[in-house]
Amino acid sequence: MIEPSVFAAHWLGHRHLTRRVIAAFPPDALFTFSPAPPLRPFGEMVWELHGQTAYTLRGLLDGDWGEPTWDTLPGTDRAAVLAAWDGQTARIETGLPGVPAERYGETLTLSWGEMLVFTAVIGSIDNEVHHRGQGMVYLRELGTQPPDFWDRS
Amino acid sequence: MIEPSVFAAHWLGHRHLTRRVIAAFPPDALFTFSPAPPLRPFGEMVWELHGQTAYTLRGLLDGDWGEPTWDTLPGTDRAAVLAAWDGQTARIETGLPGVPAERYGETLTLSWGEMLVFTAVIGSIDNEVHHRGQGMVYLRELGTQPPDFWDRS
């Protein structure tokens, strides 16, 4: 239906926008502000996205879809979170275009059931878009104008 | 990379979840509640999604990518919005699986520039996921537990 390079560019566009949303947060609010607990602070959501994406990339690029491992949060410092985000984005940038198109049509058996590789990968992207939308509401409530949704540069 | 039928099922899963989020709103809050203006009430976001999706479907299914036309909001009654949503979902359900895979790789010239058909379609879905995430924050602030993000049935 599409080329893996198109899909890679699509994902990277989302990564860039999410980075701008993280960078727009007042540093002291990233891991503390929630407008309505049990909604989590945006920093915790970002770390979930990082963990889910790490698992997806390990499966897609290394073929290891075993149990996920979860990296320890490098700290609640915004710069540390951005550095981890950038490292993962670089891995998408170098790894994704070389994934053969056929791989997305393979069926996986994960501990929570069977799914297509495509479904696992788009699920990571969707979760990013979902939580980023939530983070943009937080920004408005913090008095900060969010980055433009349509800008993926 | 994937079959159109897989892509159709992916989109429909999102439609079903978004429907549940609309239905979870207290009827009097759907078009009135905003936690931080100029953020719009969720009902207005939903109507934007309906309009963007109508344009995307007209292009994808009828080949007409000319200027969008915007349907008039049927009213601020939650039932009317849900009925419009369901009608559009039915069009996705019947029309999408028959779209040839090659069509997603065609390049469009829209009034705001060139893009792949895939990019236009996934852009509609992303916008739905984005605004639905915002709507889920609104629900929490209204004291209502949102539907589960992972359930696409």
Instruction: Please report how the helices A117-141 and B117-141 are oriented relative to each other, as an axis angle in degrees rounded to 10.
Output: 50
Q: Which burial class, exposed, middle or buried, applies to B111 when counting CB atoms under 10 A from its CB (0-12, 13-18, 19+)?
A: exposed
Q: Which of B118, B129, B153 to mutate to test the interface with A (most CBs of A within 10 A)?
A: B129
Q: Give the phi and the psi of residue B44 in degrees, each rounded to 5.
A: -70, -40
Q: How many helices (H) and strands (E) does chain B have?
A: 4, 2
Average of per-residue pLDDT across B7-28: 97
Smallest Cβ–Cβ distance between A129 and the set B39, B101, B129 belongs to B129
Interface check for A145 against chain B (CB to CB < 8 A): the answer is: no
Judge whether B107 is closer than 8 Å to chain A, CB to CB: no
Residue spans of beta strands (DSSP E) within B1-152? 107-110, 113-116
Q: Which residue bears the tokens 């879905």? A: B125
Checking if the pLDDT of A112 tops 80, the result is: no
Q: pLDDT digits over A91-110, tens only?
A: 999 999 889 999 999 999 88
Which pLDDT score is estimated for B41? Answer: 98
Q: For position B113, what pLDDT does the model report?
A: 84
Q: What is the pLDDT of residues B69-112, one digit of tens each?
A: 889 999 999 999 999 999 999 999 999 988 999 999 999 988 77
pLDDT at residue A77, as a whole number: 96
Q: Do B133 and A133 touch (CB under 8 A)?
A: yes
pLDDT at B138 (0 to 100):
98
For residue A8, the distance in angstroms to the closest alpha carbon of chain B comes to 12
Q: Which two tokens stand for residue A28?
A: 């002291």
What are the residue ranges spanned by the domains of chain A? 4-141
Task: Report the phi/psi class of residue A143: left, alpha or beta, with left for phi > 0 and alpha for psi in -120 to 50.
Answer: left
Q: Residue A72 has what pLDDT?
A: 92
- CB-based contact, B148 to chain A, within 8 Å: no
CB atoms within 10 A of CB A88: 17
**What CATH topology corresponds to B4-141?**
Four Helix Bundle (Hemerythrin (Met), subunit A) (1.20.120)
User: Mean pLDDT in chain A?
Assistant: 95
Minimal CA separation from A137 to chain B, in Å: 6
Position B8 confidence tier, pLDDT thresholds 50, 70, 90? very high
CB contact under 8 A, A104 and B141: no
C-alpha B48/C-alpha B55 separation (Å) is 11
Please state the three-class secondary structure of B87-121 as a single string: HHHHHHHHHHHHCCHHHHHCEEEECCEEEEHHHHH
Beta strand spans in chain B (E): 107-110, 113-116
Question: Residue B131: helix, strand or coil by DSSP?
Answer: helix
Least CA distance to A10: which residue of chain B? Answer: B119
Task: Name which of B113, B57, B125 is nearest A133 in CA terms.
Answer: B125
B positions 65-104 inside 8 Å of A (CB): 101, 104
Say which residue, A83 or B67, is predicted with more confidence.
A83
All residues of chain A having their beta carbon less than 8 Å from the beta carbon of residue B126 are 14, 129
Q: Do A137 and B6 touch (CB under 8 A)?
A: no
Quote the minimal CA–CA distance from B49 to chain A in Å. Answer: 14
Structure tokens at A56: 């997806």
Question: Are β-strands B107-110 and A107-110 bridged in parallel, bridged antiparallel, or unpaired?
Answer: unpaired
Q: Is the pLDDT of residue A34 over 90?
A: yes
Q: Which residues in chain B are contacts of A138 at CB distance < 8 A?
A: 137
pLDDT grade for A113, boundaries at 50, 70 and 90: confident
